[in-house]
A and B are shown apart, each in its own frame.
Chain A
Amino acid sequence: MSAGNERSGPEPTAVLEAVDISKHFRVRAGRFRRGTVHAAENISLALRPGTVTAVVGESGSGKSTLTRMLARTHKLTSGRLYFKGEEIDPRAAATKDYRSAVQLVLQDPFASLNPAHTVRYILSRPLQIHHKAGDDLQESVLGLLRRVALEPAEQFIDKYPHELSGGQRQRVSIARALAVEPEVLIADEPVSMLDVSIRLGVLNLLADLRDRDQLAIVYVTHDIASARYLADTIMVMYAGKVVEVGPADLIANAPQHPYTKLLLSAAPDPETATKTWLGDSGAPPSLVSPPSGCRFHPRCPFAMAVCSQQAPPSFDVAADHHVACWLHSPEQVEAQSGALG
């Protein structure tokens, strides 16, 4: 297993690709008024086998909405989804095949496992429903437990969720997702409820699944350090929009978007003796009436006139590194290099 992945050769094609997907929720914003929550807007991403894509952002940034759209438990407001190159009808409910190919692991392993059933039942049901059990159901369940390193598996199979620790429960959750032989695993904050000493074990398990089983994994987190540890690509979200996408190392060491810089300066970092906190007193905006232009401009120390008028498109700063910020528009870059030269 390797924590960071450097691959060469032609890139494998995406299992699941999202193009400009958005999700709006209609809400009541008063007794008579109705509003729309712009939870996620114009997100594009491609998930390739054997890679981990981390989605990083604060609560309310739309990262969980994105996972639900990819798993198709939320219908898209707009945009297109391609599964293995074929477009999916956005109005239709997810088919059983799709649900078995794209699996979701949720944050809270205390709430996502039925307390009234044993591990055996919890893991047998998906096997039976999706006809993946093979000849021997018991053997399949034991195999799943071994895949998530719950050993000796014979001891765990008849336990109830309350008899397991948080880390073990999260492993059962992952085993349940693996039961249907998915190609895409979407993990929504899988370690944030776990104790620090066992988080790495779960992250390493995800890395194993990527390397050994070539799963395409989406790792949603608010912890940018763990995203750098596990992911190949990091996508930073703010107020429902993607602000920066790039290789994990570049995002952590050479962030370009002012929000990514703010996020990094806020992360606990005991190794740096003189860390400068980019002081900030703003808060994420309301998604019912998001700010005009760039959604970060009211908090941004570098905001220009254009930022409040027009939403920035995604500019390329390197081959795989894209930033949605006017500071990186060709005109700005030229003006700056002119000023320096």
Chain B
Amino acid sequence: MSIAERQASPAATTPAPAETLLEIRGLSVDYGLGDQPVHAVDDVDLTIHRGEVIGLAGESGSGKSTLAYAVTRLLRDPGVITAGEVRFYQWPKGSFQQPADGPTGAPGTVRPRTIDLLSPDPRVIHAVRWSQIAVVFQSALHALNPVLRIGTLIDDVLKAHEASMSGRRRRARAIELLDLVGISQDRLSSYPHELSGGMRQRVMIALALALRPSLLIMDEPTTALDVVIQREILEELMELRQRLGFSVLFITHDLSLLIEIADTIAVMYAGRLVEKAPAKALFRAPRHPYTYGLTRSFPSLHGERQVMSGIEGSPPDLRDVPAGCPFHPRCGFALDRCRSEEPPLLTITDESGPREVQCWRHDGTGPVPLELGATPPRADPDVARPVSRDTAGRAGRPEIQRRDPS
């Protein structure tokens, strides 16, 4: 089954809304203290549900990796978390069932344990990292210890986290894990440099899955790989997710890839989360001018060849972020207000359901430019309310709601 086919059945991928796995509230991360810290992540809210694939898109320097490292407390000096809350909900293992496999347990029967990931007690994060939240890094060559064999690498993880496991069971589990990612067991005695780039990335995924985590954070896992291998690994990953039921936070600069694999996409720019919406709605009907520009930055494989322009200018220097909305110098829709006041994250509701956008153009006081008001595909045809198409290509004014100032 291809990725597209799986996505075509939303019931198989969308978990119940209450099944929150990770909740990030107002997270800010600075690099360096003192007079001139760089605000790498600025007041970001993000919620990940069980079984969900969230895509985090953004250019280099947008803060997407920093966000992931802050959540897992892997930030290195001089990175400092200056504000915010990160809560992880630990559901009993095995309590999550893909709705496709049968009805889930009655809601309310299982209760998660809430863990504060920003707790100063190092034991808290140690208990969560790897066993609950595992990370797959971009460069497998640098992330795998070059002097250890693949078998030893897996063995070390199991030894450290599951002390009661016997040597024989650890070996059996290592073979099982390699099998999961399509690597034959005679590779247990290979060193990382003896594997191809795609195989190394598969070993990384096998390692990450060793302790059956409920959230996999993948930081540009396929960027260094060729397209064919990238596609193979993504297909395998999506199949594993279906089988094992973990959530994925997929970080990449390649929005076209996310549209295919993610349920929800969050777009970051200059440390802010500027838009979050269901994947298809974000692609068909972007609301933020930056997202609009991004969707017009990758040439299509079909139809007439058209001249495309990308986005003018370049991403801002984080030491000197423009006042107001950080995107305004590159924005074709900027108002006077955008130059002085930073927009709040607005929640708007349209045919695709509620979505978030950080842009003054959507605050309900003025007309929304046609480009930023396309009609998105409906989330669920059975429950979507009827839409009046009074203006060309745009539905009636979306319902607007401001986020509570906190």
Contact residues of A with B, CB < 8 Å? 1-4, 58-59, 165-168, 195-201, 204, 222-226, 228-229, 248-249, 252-253, 262-277, 279-281, 283
Q: Report B-chain residues with C-beta under 8 Å of the C-beta of A249.
A: 305
Which single residue of chain B is at the shortest CB-CB distance from A268? B256
* Per-position 1/0 for B303-321, Cβ under 8 A of A: 0011111111011000000
**Do B314 and A198 touch (CB < 8 A)?**
yes
CA distance A268 to B306 in the complex (A): 18
Shortest distance from the beta carbon of B152 to any chain A beta carbon, whole Å: 25
Q: Mind listing 6 A-B residue pairs with CB under 8 Å?
A: A1-B307, A167-B314, A201-B310, A204-B310, A269-B302, A277-B235
Shortest distance from the beta carbon of A306 to any chain B beta carbon, whole Å: 25
CA distance A199 to B254 in the complex (A): 12
**Do B310 and A58 touch (CB < 8 A)?**
no
**Do A262 and B228 touch (CB < 8 A)?**
yes
**Do B306 and A253 touch (CB < 8 A)?**
no
Contact residues of B with A, CB < 8 Å? 2-5, 8, 59-60, 182, 196, 198, 226-232, 235, 253-257, 259-260, 283, 293-294, 297-302, 305-312, 314-315
**Do B260 and A268 touch (CB < 8 A)?**
yes
Using known A-B contacts A271-B302, A273-B4, determine if residue A281 contacts B232 with beta carbons closer than 8 Å.
Answer: yes
B227 touches which one: A167, A168, A198, A267 (CB < 8 A)? Answer: A267
Shortest distance from the beta carbon of A260 to any chain B beta carbon, whole Å: 11
Using known A-B contacts A269-B301, A270-B260, determine if residue A277 contacts B231 with beta carbons closer than 8 Å.
Answer: yes
CA distance A205 to B235 in the complex (A): 35
Give the top 9 A-B pairs by smallest Cβ distance, nearest first.
Answer: A200-B310, A229-B299, A270-B259, A266-B231, A4-B305, A197-B311, A268-B256, A195-B59, A58-B226
With A196-B253, A270-B256, A270-B283 known, 15 other A-B pairs at CB within 8 A are: A3-B305, A58-B226, A166-B60, A195-B60, A196-B297, A197-B294, A199-B297, A201-B310, A204-B310, A249-B305, A265-B231, A268-B256, A272-B4, A283-B196, A283-B198
Interface centre among A165, A198, A268, A273 (most CB of B within 10 A): A268
A277 touches which one: B2, B293, B301, B306 (CB < 8 A)? Answer: B2
**Do B314 and A168 touch (CB < 8 A)?**
yes
Q: Report B-chain residues with C-beta under 8 Å of the C-beta of A229.
A: 299, 305, 308
CA distance A274 to B255 in the complex (A): 18
Q: Report B-chain residues with C-beta under 8 Å of the C-beta of A224.
A: 227, 301
CA distance A281 to B293 in the complex (A): 35
Shortest distance from the beta carbon of B122 to any chain A beta carbon, whole Å: 36
**Do B227 and A274 touch (CB < 8 A)?**
no
Q: Report A-chain residues with C-beta under 8 Å of the C-beta of B60.
A: 166, 195
Using known A-B contacts A196-B59, A270-B259, A270-B283, determine if residue A225 contacts B310 with beta carbons closer than 8 Å.
Answer: no
Q: Report A-chain residues with C-beta under 8 Å of the C-beta of B5.
A: 274
Shortest distance from the beta carbon of A309 to any chain B beta carbon, whole Å: 26
CA distance A204 to B8 in the complex (A): 35
Q: Report B-chain residues with C-beta under 8 Å of the C-beta of A228.
A: 299, 301, 305
**Do B306 and A3 touch (CB < 8 A)?**
yes
Shortest distance from the beta carbon of A97 to any chain B beta carbon, whole Å: 35
**Do A196 and B294 touch (CB < 8 A)?**
yes
Shortest distance from the beta carbon of B283 to any chain A beta carbon, whole Å: 5
**Do B301 and A2 touch (CB < 8 A)?**
no
Q: Report A-chain residues with C-beta under 8 Å of the C-beta of B226.
A: 58-59, 222
CA distance A268 to B229 in the complex (A): 12
Shortest distance from the beta carbon of A34 to any chain B beta carbon, whole Å: 21
Q: Report B-chain residues with C-beta under 8 Å of the C-beta of A201.
A: 309-310, 312
